[in-house]
Structure 1
Amino acid sequence: MELTATDVWVMVSAALVLLMTPGLAFFYGGMARAKAALNMMMMSFVSIGLVGVVWVLWGFGMTSAPEILGGLVGDPTADLGLSEHVGTGDLIGIGYAATFAIITVALISGAVADRTRFSAWVAFVPVWVTLVYCPLAYMVWGGGLLSADGAIGRRFGEAIDFAGGTVVHINAGVAALVLVYVLGRRAGWARGFHRPHNVPLVMIGAALLWFGWFGFNGGAAGSTGEAALIWVNTLVAPAAAMLGWLLVERVRDGRPTSLGAASGVVAGLVAITPACASLSPLGSLALGAVAGAGAALAVGLKYRFGYDDALDVVGVHLVAGLIGTVGIGFLAMPVDGVGGGLFYGGGIEQLTAQVVATVFTVAFTGVMTLLIALAIARTVGFRVSAEDEERGVDLSEHSELAYEFGPLGGLSADGDRAVSKDEVGV
C-alpha cells in the first residue's frame, strides 16, 4: 500500500502527541517539590510503557471493534493489527490513538504528588486505562452509547468532542479528584504549603505541551480547511487563556506569575480540545479567556473544600475541560447553515447533548475510579508511609535525587538540609 499524505500527517501528529507526555513530565516535575521531582517524571514515563503494551494487547480493540455489553465497550479480543490483512493506515491509527490514552492517564498523576507508592501507580495505570479510558473512548468515538447511533446519543443528541474534552480532560480530572480523596492530604498541607521547585522547568514543559497539542487537535483533521481552523484555534485559545489567568492573578494577588502564564496556556489548550474544529477563531478567543480565568479561580477551591490536589489537575483539566465541552453548546458554528450553538441561533439541542455527555462522563469516571482506587488501596497500598513521605518519594521509591550538589549529595524538599549519599544507597 502506498503511503499517502494523510498517513504521513497522522504519523507526525502521533509523534507530536507522544512528545506531550515527556513535556508533561517536565511540567509536573518542575511544579513538584524537589524531593518528588523524579517520581513525578517517572509516573509520566512509565505510563508510556504500560499503556503502550496494553494498547496492542487489548486496548485498541476495546475502543474500535464491534460493540459488546450494549455499547459500553468494543471487543478486547479483536485483531489489533498483528496479521497481514491489516493495512498501513490501520496500524498508524492504532499508534495515534495510543498516544491519547498514554497522556490521559499521565495527567492524573499530578494530583497525587509526594505521597503515592510507585508500585500502586504501576498497578493503577493499566487497570484504569482498561476499565475507564477504553470504554469511554469507545462510547464517544467508537460508536458506543454517546455516539450518534448509541442509546444516549440517539435520545439526547451526539455531543461534539473532537479531540478529548470528555474522553481525556474531564475523564482525567474526575479521576484525579477521586484519588486525592482516597489518598488524603499530605502531612502539613495548607495554603502556601507547596511551592514549585523549578519554574523554568514548568515553562519548558508547557512549551512542549503547546507544541505537541497541534498534533493532538489537528491529527484527525478531515480537510485542509478544517486543519487550518484547528491550527489557528489551537494558537489563539491558549493565548487568550494565558491572558485571562494573568488578569485574575493581577487583580486577586497584585502581580502576574510565570507559573500562572504556563498554567493558563494549558487551561486554554484543555478548553479548545473538544471544540477546535467547531468554533471560529473569535469564539476560540472567548472560550480561552473564560477557561483561563475560570481555571485560575478554580485552583483555589481545594483550600475551600479541603482536597490536596498537589499540581492543580482538578482546577486546570477538570474545570477547563468542563468549560470547553459545555461551551460548544453556546459557541459552535452552524454546519452548512444548520445547527450550531445558542449564540448562533442553533437552539438548545447541542447544549443539551454537551451537558448530558459531561454528566455521564463525570458519573462513569467517578464511580469506576473510586472502585479501582479502593481496591488498590486495600491490596497493594496506595500511599507511602509517613516516614517515606517526609524523606521524599524520590528517595523512598527510586533511591535517586533530582539534584546533586558536591560531596554532601542533594537537597531536601525545601532546600534546607543536605542529603547524604548513604541515604540514596550509593
Structure 2
Amino acid sequence: MDNLTVHLAPSVDASILPYGDQTEIDVKTYDESTTPDPHDLVVFSDNNDEILSQAHDWLADHVGVVILNAGSKLNDFLLQEVGVALHDLPDGVFVHQERETHTRLIQSATIGNGQGAESDQSASQRFGVVPTSRSPFDSDEPSSLRPLFVEAVSHLITHKQQGFVSAPETDEFPEGLEYYTFTVTKQDIRSLPYDNEDIQSVTISFDYHFALFLNDPPHGEHYQYIHLREEVRASPGELAWTYNDTWSYGAMQFHLELENSLDHPDIVLEETAPENEVEKTEVTDTTSFDIGFSTTDGGSGQFGYSKSRTHIIKDWEIINESTGNDSSWTYAQNTPYDGKYKKNSSFCKVCNAGEFGGGVDIGSIPALSRGTLTLDTQSVWRTQNVITDPVTLHTDYKWWFSAVTKTGFGCMPHWWWVSNFFGVDIDMSKVPEKNTTKQE
C-alpha cells in the first residue's frame, strides 16, 4: 500500500501532525503545482482563498481536507460541501467525501477538565470546566488538534487500504429517489484530577449519521424525512490508581443522558429507538419508514428505509424520555445498584474501607461502567411540507461518574460530571422538491 501523502500549506507547522515521524506518512509542502490524489490529505487555513476555492474539486475527487483557524468563510464552505453549518467554530475541521452522496465532517475535540462536586463531603465545592482551544499558529503544543489529525489520518489510511471509494455502510437507493447522507463526528476529552497528582482522562465520541429524503410521489403529499443515527462511545479510561488488580481509585461511569432537538414549526418527531429496556444483555434498536418518489419514467415508486443496530447493555438500563420534537434517552447502571444520579442524594456507593486505606472493589462494578459503553440511538423527523431553508439541530449530553480519591489512609467519594452541547444547521435544500405540480 502506498503511504498517505499529507500536503501542508506553507503557513502550517508540521509539528501538529501526530504521525510526522512514521513511515506510512509522507509530508509535503503544498504549492501551486500540487495535484492531490484520491485519499491524500491537504491541510490549510481558511484564510487561504486560493486553496479554499480548489477544495470543492478536491472533495469531489475524494481528497481529504483539514481547514484550520476556522473563520467566517468556513460555514459557507461547509453548507455547500457537507450540508451543515456549525454554531461553534472549532480550531479545525476534517472533511472527506467518502462516496458520491456521503460526506464526513470531523470536528476537532474539546479539551478540558471534568466538573462536579463531592456528594458525600461538601456539595458546595465545584470543579469548573475551562475548555482550552490552542491554535497551531501561536502555541508550541496544539494538543486540541491532535485528535482531529488522528481521526483524519486513520480514516484516510483505512480508505486507501479498502480501495478507491469505500464507506462503512452502503445503502442501495432506487433511481429517482432524492436523498442525501452525511456524518458529523465530535469528540470530547476531559481530565479528572485526583489529589493534584493522579489524572484520569475520560473520552466520549459521537458519530451523527444523517440521512435526508424527499417524499414526492406523483400523487399525494410532498414532504421530507430527517433520519439521525447517533453512535456514542463513552470511556472513563484507565483508572487513576490500582492496587493488586483489585482495589482502585478513580472514576467509573454510571449515568449518561442524550438529547436531540429539532425546533421548527413544520417538523414533527415521528419515531425513536430504542424503547425502555431493563435487564437485557443486548438491545436492538430499529426504525423504518416508507418514502414515495417519482420514477425516472414518470411512474410512482416506494422505498422502505430501515436501520437496525444491536449493542450490549448488560447490567445497565435504558429509559426513552422523548417528548415533543425532542428525542431523549437516559442510560444508567442498574446492577448491582441503581446508578442514576439523584440530586442531593448519595451518589457514591462504591467507596469501601478495603485494604491499605480502601478504594473500590472493581470486581463488583459492571464491565460497562469500568470500560467502554457503546450505544446507538435513532430519531426520525418529518416535515409538514417541503422545506428549503436550513433547520437547526441541537444535541447535548450529560455524563456522570462516581469517583473515589485517595486521602492518606482512607478514601473520599465524589461524583463528577461532564457535559457539552452541539448545534448545527442542516441544509434541507440538499433534497429539493422536483415535482412542483402534484397530481391528485
| TM surpasses 0.5 | no
Higher relative contact order (CA 8 A, sep 6+): 1
More strand by share: 2
| TM-score normalised according to structure 1 size | 0.26
Q: Which has the larger radius of gyration?
A: 2
